[in-house]
Each structure stands twice: as structure tokens, then as C-alpha cells.
Amino acid sequence: MILSCQNLSKAFNEQPILCNVSFHIEDYDKAAIVGINGAGKTTLLRIIVGEQSADDGIVTLAKGKTLGYLAQNQDVNSANTIYDELLSVKADVIAMEQKIREMEHSMKQVSGKELAQLMDAYTRLTHSFELANGYAYKSEIMGVLKGLGFDETEYDKKISTLSGGQKTRVALGRLLLLKPDLIILDEPTNHLDLNSITWLETYLLNYKGAVLIVSHDRYFLDRIAGKIIEIDQTKATTFIGNYSDYAVKKEQLRTAALNAYFKQQQEIKHQEAVIEKLKSFNREKSIKRAESREKMLNKIEVLDKPSEARTDIHMTLTPHCTSGKDVLHIEGLTKDFNGQTLFSNLAMDLKRREHVAIIGDNGTGKTTILKIINGLLKADGGMITLGTNVHIGYYDQEHHVLHMEKTLFDEISDSYPYLSNTEIRSTLAAFLFTGDDVYKRIGDLSGGERGRMSLAKLMLSESNFLILDEPTNHLDIISKEILEDALNAYEGTVLYVSHDRYFINRTASRILELKDGELTSYLGNYDYYLEKRDELSPVSPKPDDHSPSKVNAPSDTKLDWQAQKELQAKQRKKENDLKRCEERITELEQQLAEIEEMMSDPAVATNVSKLQELTHTQDELNSKLADLYDQWEILAN
């Protein structure tokens, strides 16, 4: 075990944020902390790394272990260039390299015993240098920089000239190169494009250490996490599996807990009615019986009502009128910036009710396309034609559709003067703005609050063609799911830019990839796009007869009799191991089937403690089964 958190509690202004939070991270765990905005996820990370103190509880990092922490926004203060900043991480390796060069030079000038001693020291140092990946440290730095989306032309940029997002990427690069025993990341994908996120996933999956992540990127969590720690109503619950596994188990537990709550409430009301009836008889025996029942009732540990699922935002998108079948036609679209062509001769057609996602690297011009269609930017060439009865509703990630000087109430009132005060307040309440919140200035809102406000205006617009620029930014997972459901039920047309692959998977019927100034269309969701993209990628040529693998491969005829016997023995052992593995898999699958049958029993489904016990056993079996599947794949090859 590398990290232990025991009974952590924290309150702000006497308002509890965390209460008796306990969990642990094993040496090679890939774990994630999830919860709604404001649940206390970032506070928990800050307590773990020592930036904040807990009111109660203990954080223990295993002796001799190191941790590295990446906050959401990193203001890297350095006079270095991007490359030199990452190179500074390798100062010890560079010092060893310099020492090795000095030793090599000294060897030419000494002899005898002194040379022998120098050679021994040289051997030890070169071994340490090799263990520290000294012969490839420059390649390692280049790999991290490219993986995080930095072009070689940017390596010499000064840190002081970078944007906040770029500085955060530099800080992430430093952290990865430091290779602590435990990496702690708070929203690491916020400033990365899709290619960089995919690279980071692969890097973390292969990382020889533990990883603890806070993220709203569900696709990322599905690929990375093997353990989910949920913070809900100040408490922590640990689930084994990725995000999708957690979502299923969470709903099962919530349903069971809700059934148990309603059953107990029904029993309490029944007992209260019986007590009231006994008292109404107004006889000594009946009153004693009533008092006895009251005592029993008072001893009951009343269950809290489980938090309602997905109640953060109530969103319905309804087109005011139906557009023509042809919604948008673009041909020859061209845009230049400062003499550089961003894209040229782009073509696109959208039909009614299509949900289309534009994806691509940062800086390729995705947002620019949306702004041109919406009339916020002028194209340098090409033609854009909107279809009959097309009315655009625009969601801008920079929220230019909002007026910073207005209050929330006035923003809605001025845009939709036909709404009554009650209707305006109801709309704002649906997006979590209640009471005096409606008189806040938009300029004083956080990024997430401005996002919710933009969505509120979008809901009221009754448009039939929605153009959305990163609509899930700053939304928590529950709010994203509500937006996804609203878009899937929407009968109009949707065109959006997003880096949220889970969101794209759930809402897109077509993908447009913007790459090298061209748009490529894929008819399907994000998983389909990945499949087809890989199919279209050029296949590496097979090695010819003169390749090293062919030349060096030993043939069976060249193996002596003893080697043949050893190979046959290894093969028999492998076959026996495979058979035992398959038998064990069958046994565990049978046990899981029996547990699932028990969990479907209504009597068990309403027994929270029994259901939790079965779920725990199910988690353990699934974990063992996953290991067996991995073992089987190795043996079956």
C-alpha cells in the first residue's frame, strides 16, 4: 500500500465538506475520484498533498515513497524555455553524463592501480546512468513534449510567454518525467486535444507506479481507472472497476437503498398509525402498548433518503419550427490568419436532425468554422448557405452570447421579454440559480456558472439548428449526462466541437475530422471513427527475407535434441496451465451467475447490508476474473 487516508474530515464555515473519508491506494493502482462539482474532490487532493490540513483524520504515505501533484491550473514561473524546463528534471542524469565524460578523459592520463580504481568507478557510474535511462533521456523528453501536443517549433518558447493551458501542459510534462511513486492529477485532460489525451492514457496505463486522478472525462476514466472513489454527500465509497462499472453498481445500490428507505418509511408510518390508534382507545393497557411501540420506534436507526439521481439541471430543448431537409451547405471555405492558411476549400453538408461533431487537434480551426457559420467571423473565401426556416442557437465556450455587465435575471428578461418573472426564475432555478443568485452579475460568475447560464439561454431559444462550442466544459458528470439526454431527444440539427469522447459517443451520428486543413467524414459515433480511422491508416510493411527478424530466427532443424525436448516440455506445461486457467474461469463465472441470480431476488434487493455483501463478493470475483482473462490471453497466444 502506497497511500492510506483514514477518517478524513473537513468543513468550511461550519459546513461539512468531507466526513470520515477513508480509502487506500495500492502500489500500482490506477484510481479515480468522482463526484459532483463542489463535492470536495479537489479539497481531498489538497489534503493528501499537504496544501490544506484536515480537521480530523490521517494521511499516510508509505515510507520512502514519493508523490507528484498536478493542480487544475499551474502558473509555472520560470525563465526557461519549454525544452529547458523539462530538461531541468534530468539534472542528476546530466551531471552523471558529465562525470562519465570526465572519467573517460582521465583514463587517458592514468595507469596501473589508479586506472583500475577509475575503471571500477566508471563501471558503477555507467550502470547507474543506464538504470536512470541516461542513454535515452533526450528522446524521453522529446516523446513527452510531442505526446502533450507541443510542436518542435515551440520548444524554444519562453515559459513566461505561454498561456495558462500551455503552462499546465509543461507542468504535466515535468511531473511525468520526475516519475514519482504516486502521480496525483486534478483534471489533467482540460488543456489537451484528443491525440494528447490518447497519448496520456497510454502513458498512464503503462506507468510503473500508482495514479490517482480527479476527472470529469468519462472516456478517460473508462480507459485508465481500475478503482473509483466516489465522494457523495461528504462520504466516500470505493468501487472496483472503471467508470462504466461504477455507474452500473452505483445505480444498483441507489435503487436498493431507495427501496429500503421507502419500505422503512412505510413501516414507520404504519407503526405511528397503530400507536395513534392505541392511544385513542384511552385505556391503561392500550396506552402502555402504545408507549412500548413508541420506545421501539425511537430505537430504529432511520435511513437517510438516497440522493436523487441526475437532478442538477432540468433541460428540454424544443425547436420552435421545423427546418427544411437541407440545413447547411458549405463549399470552398477558406480562412487565413496573419498570412497563414488555417484551412482552405472545406466542404460540408448537414441534413435535418443530424448530430455532427467536429474533432481535431488544437489550433486546426474547429471553433473558427463554428464562428464563421454563426457570422461572428468573416471567411476569406467560399460560400455558406443556410436552408429554409433554419434558426441558429449558439453556445460559445467563451460565452460571448452573455453580457458581462448584466445580472442573470436581466440577461434572460432582455433576451426574452415575453417571459414572466416567475418563468424567468423557474428557468434559472432549473440551472441551479436560486434566491438572490439571480441578481449576480454575469461577469462575477465562475466558468462553470457561465456555462450553465449559456445553456439556460440556449434552452429558451427554441432554435432548430444548435451550434455548440465545447458545451461540456466545466460541467460535472451528472450535468453532462442530462445535456446528452436533452440533445438525444432534440428533434433539430446539432453541429458541435468537443474533446469529450464519451459525450461524442453518446450524441454524435457523424464525425467530421479536421486534419491538415481538410474535413473527413465518418458516419457513426467516436468508437466507429476510431475503428475506421485505424482501418484507413497505412499498414507498416512486413519485414522482407533480409530483415533481422528473419535472419536471426532459429529454425527447428537447427535445434539440438535437448532443446527440442525442453520446448516440448514447456509446451505441455503451457497447455496444462491453459486448461487449469479455463477451468478456474468457468468456476468463477458460475459463482458470479449465482450471485447475480441472488441479487435479482426482491428479498435481497431490499436488504441493503446483504446487497452490499454480495456486491463486495462480486467485485472480488470480477477482479480475480479479470486477472484470469489476462493470464488466459497470454497462455492462449
pLDDT of residue 3: 96
**Is pLDDT of 71 > 70?**
yes
Query: From residue 372, how far is each of 203, 365, 391 by CA, in Å?
Result: 37, 10, 15
Write the pLDDT tens digit of every residue in 173-226. Answer: 999 999 999 999 999 988 888 889 999 999 999 999 999 999 999 999 999 999
Name beta bridge partners: 493: 465
Quick one: pLDDT band at residue 312, thresholds 50, 70, 90? Answer: low
Q: Is the pLDDT of residue 544 over 60?
A: no
| Residue 528 or 462, more confident | 528
* Average pLDDT of the segment spanning 297-324: 79
Spatial distance between the Cα atoms of 471 and 507, rounded to a whole number of angstroms: 12
Mean pLDDT highest for which of 267-276, 379-388, 426-435, 612-621?
A: 379-388
Q: Pick the more confident residue, 478 or 41.
A: 41
The confidence score (pLDDT) of residue 309 equals 56
Strands 227-232 and 235-240: antiparallel
Calculate what percentage of the chain has a pLDDT beyond 90: 55
Q: What is the pLDDT of residue 65?
A: 95
Distance of alpha carbon 539 from alpha carbon 179, whole angstroms: 33
Q: Which residue carries 398509525 as its cell?
A: 273
How many other CB atoms are there within 10 angstroms of residue 571's CB atom? 10
Distance CA 636, CA 211 (A): 30
Element (H, E) at 350: strand 340-351
For residue 558, pLDDT over 50 is answered with no
Residue 556 has pLDDT above 50, yes or no: no
List all residues 6 or more positions away from 453 whose beta carbon is below 8 Å from its beta carbon: 399, 402, 408, 411, 431, 433, 442, 445
* Three-state SS at 109: coil
Return the sign of the alpha-carbon dihedral for residues 609, 615, 621, 624. Answer: negative
Report the C-alpha gap between 350 and 508 in whole angstroms.
13
For residue 550, is pLDDT > 60?
Answer: no
Q: Concatenated DSSP letters for 110-134? A: --HHHHHHHHHHHHHHHHHHHHTTG
Q: pLDDT > 70: what percent of the chain? A: 91
- How far is Cα 201 from Cα 242, in angstroms, rounded to an integer? 13
Q: What pLDDT was estimated at residue 538?
A: 55
pLDDT, residue 458, reads 85
pLDDT above 70 for 307: no
Is residue 348's pLDDT more than 60?
A: yes
* pLDDT band for position 242 (cuts 50, 70, 90): very high
pLDDT tens digits, residue range 130-187? Answer: 998 899 999 999 999 999 999 899 999 999 888 888 888 999 999 999 999 999 999 9
Contact of 495 with 52, CB cutoff 8 Å:
no
CB 34 within 8 Å of CB 221: yes
Q: How far apart are CA 436 and CA 629, in angstroms?
A: 56
Q: Is the pLDDT of residue 311 over 60?
A: no
The three cell numbers of residue 160 are: 513566461
Q: For residue 338, what pLDDT is reported?
A: 83
What distances in angstroms separate CA 601 from CA 176, 527, 597, one per listed residue? 48, 36, 7
Mean pLDDT of 59-86: 89
